[in-house]
């Protein structure tokens, strides 16, 4: 087993939990929904069904990439997978890069497929990998979907991270030839408009916007630097609300996942209203697993499902697609952002 890389996985989990904030700064509080006073609907008519990378899913949120690559994170993957299998929500593993390099670590990821024989399992790799590695990652998990993460900011702060970023060719080949759908995702810095133009040319259809406001990899990687001398980017990037607004002009070309600091069913509803087809959650599920274990995590997910139905009832929406029609008002700052981003 590779000690240095495995240790990094444990540190990410430890630091994500250390910096976890119950009140996320994802910008979604700056979006106010207008009350529906005559809903004309009953709660049992509401359907939570939506799609994730073109696949039908019965609940519009999932456990996003975090874990695997060490003994500790294998245990976490097994627990998260038990939660996903029990509640019927999809689950992504953390980056499988370490297991491509050290195949003896593959079981720290494939445990997820063992625990979720039927449900949707999502693999994960960085964009520095080519098609061959992507195929190995899919095979390792019998993955239904592969996430490819874009994390230049994280790598540059990470003491042992990459310093050179030529990713477009890899993405293009993976999208073209891989036998499962690919979600291109950020890791908490959001995605700017010109990136959508590049991604479209590369054939990308599914994008996880992963905005700022929850888990902060600038902060986490700076903490891992001996001198802690790279705090420059702690506030870098677009919040989840901002990246969602920035994505709206590209809705015809992509299906969006929203993620970054999701804490409540209301956060999920707001993301769906702003145009996401589904929502990824990492930090909150990590925190809940650490504090309340498997049963507490299952409880939270069942509570979210019920609360989503209540919120959709209140808003008069029978389907996730109906949520797009819900009117909202932005704070002055967010409205200013929305106007400026249209010209960027």
Residues that bind ligand FNR (CB under 6 A): 12-13, 16, 64-66, 94-95, 124, 147, 149, 185, 187-188, 210, 214-215, 259-262, 281-284, 286
Residue recorded with tokens 């274990």:
293
Of the pair 46, 52, the CB lying nearest ligand FNR is at 52
Looking at the Cβ atoms of 27 and 315, the one nearer to ligand FNR is: 27
Least separation in angstroms between residue 200's CB and ligand FNR is 21
Closer to ligand FNR by Cβ: residue 94 or 181: 94
Q: CB of 284: closest distance to ligand FNR in angstroms?
A: 6
Q: Smallest distance, Å, CB 268 to ligand FNR? A: 11
Query: Rounded to the nearest whole angstrom, what is the least distance from the CB of residue 90 to ligand FNR in the complex?
Result: 13
User: CB 36 → ligand FNR: shortest distance, Å?
Assistant: 28
Per the CB < 8 A criterion, the answer to whether 320 and 48 are in contact is: yes
| Cα distances (angstroms) measured from residue 49 to each of 96, 105, 310, 339 | 29, 35, 15, 32
- Angle, alpha carbons 215-217-220 (nearest 5°): 95
Token code pair at residue 145: 């979907």
Nearer to ligand FNR, 17 or 322 (CB): 17
Please identify, using beta-carbon distances, which residue of 281 and 326 lies nearer to ligand FNR.
Answer: 281
Q: Strand, helix or coil at 257?
A: strand
Structure tokens at 27: 């910008």
Of 182 and 284, nearer to ligand FNR (C-beta) is 284
∠ Cα 264 276 59 (to 5°): 60
The nearest distance, CB 78 to ligand FNR, in angstroms, is: 15
CA-angle at 24, arms to 301 and 337, nearest 5°: 120
Q: For residue 191, give every residue at least 6 positions away whose Cβ sits within 8 Å of its Cβ, in sequence order, or none.
A: 150, 207, 209, 210, 238, 243, 246, 247
Which residues make beta-bridge pairs with 212?
A: 239
Beta bridge partners of 146: 123, 182
Q: Is 122:91 a contact under the CB 8 Å cutoff?
A: yes
Residue 239, phi then psi, degrees to nearest 5: -65, 170
Which one, of 219, 222, 268, lies nearest residue 62 by Cα? 268
Give least dist CB 180 to ligand FNR, A: 16
Least distance to ligand FNR from the beta carbon of 68, Å?
A: 8
Return the number of the residue (158 or 317) whose C-beta is nearest ligand FNR.
Answer: 158
Running DSSP on this structure, what letter comes out for residue 120?
-
Nearest residue (beta carbon) to ligand FNR:
214
- Of 95 and 195, the one with the shorter C-beta distance to ligand FNR is 95
Does residue 126 sit in helix, strand or coil? strand
């Amino acid at each position: 087993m590779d000690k240095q890389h495995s240790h990094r996985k444990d540190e990410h989990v430890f630091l994500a939990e250390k910096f976890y904030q119950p009140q996320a700064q994802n910008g979604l509080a700056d979006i106010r929904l207008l009350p529906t006073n005559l809903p004309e609907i009953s709660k049992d008519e509401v359907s939570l069904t939506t799609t994730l990378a073109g696949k039908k899913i019965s609940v519009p949120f999932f456990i996003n990439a975090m874990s695997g690559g060490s003994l500790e994170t294998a245990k976490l993957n097994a627990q998260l997978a038990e939660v996903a299998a029990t509640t019927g929500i999809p689950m992504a593993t953390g980056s499988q890069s370490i297991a491509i390099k050290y195949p003896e670590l593959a079981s720290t990821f494939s445990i997820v497929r063992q625990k979720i024989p039927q449900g949707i399992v999502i693999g994960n790799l960085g964009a520095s990998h080519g098609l061959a590695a992507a195929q190995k990652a899919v095979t390792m998990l019998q993955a239904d979907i592969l996430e490819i993460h874009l994390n230049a900011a994280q790598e540059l702060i990470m003491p042992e991270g990459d310093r050179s970023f030529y990713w477009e060719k890899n993405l293009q080949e993976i999208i073209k030839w891989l036998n499962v759908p690919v979600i291109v995702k950020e890791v908490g810095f959001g995605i700017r408009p010109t990136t959508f133009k590049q991604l479209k040319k590369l054939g990308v259809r599914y994008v996880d916007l992963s905005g700022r406001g929850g888990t902060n990899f600038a902060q986490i990687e700076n903490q891992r630097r001996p001198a802690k001398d790279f705090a420059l980017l702690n506030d870098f990037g677009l919040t989840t609300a901002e990246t969602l607004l920035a994505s709206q002009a590209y809705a015809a070309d992509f299906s969006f996942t929203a993620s970054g600091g999701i804490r409540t069913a209301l956060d999920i509803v707001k993301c769906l209203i702003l145009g996401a087809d589904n929502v990824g959650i990492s930090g909150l599920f990590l925190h809940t697993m650490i504090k309340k274990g498997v049963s507490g995590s299952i409880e939270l997910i069942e509570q979210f499902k019920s609360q989503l139905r209540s919120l959709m009832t209140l808003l008069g929406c029978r389907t996730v697609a109906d949520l797009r029609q819900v009117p909202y008002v932005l704070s002055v700052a967010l409205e200013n952002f929305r106007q400026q981003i249209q010209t960027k």
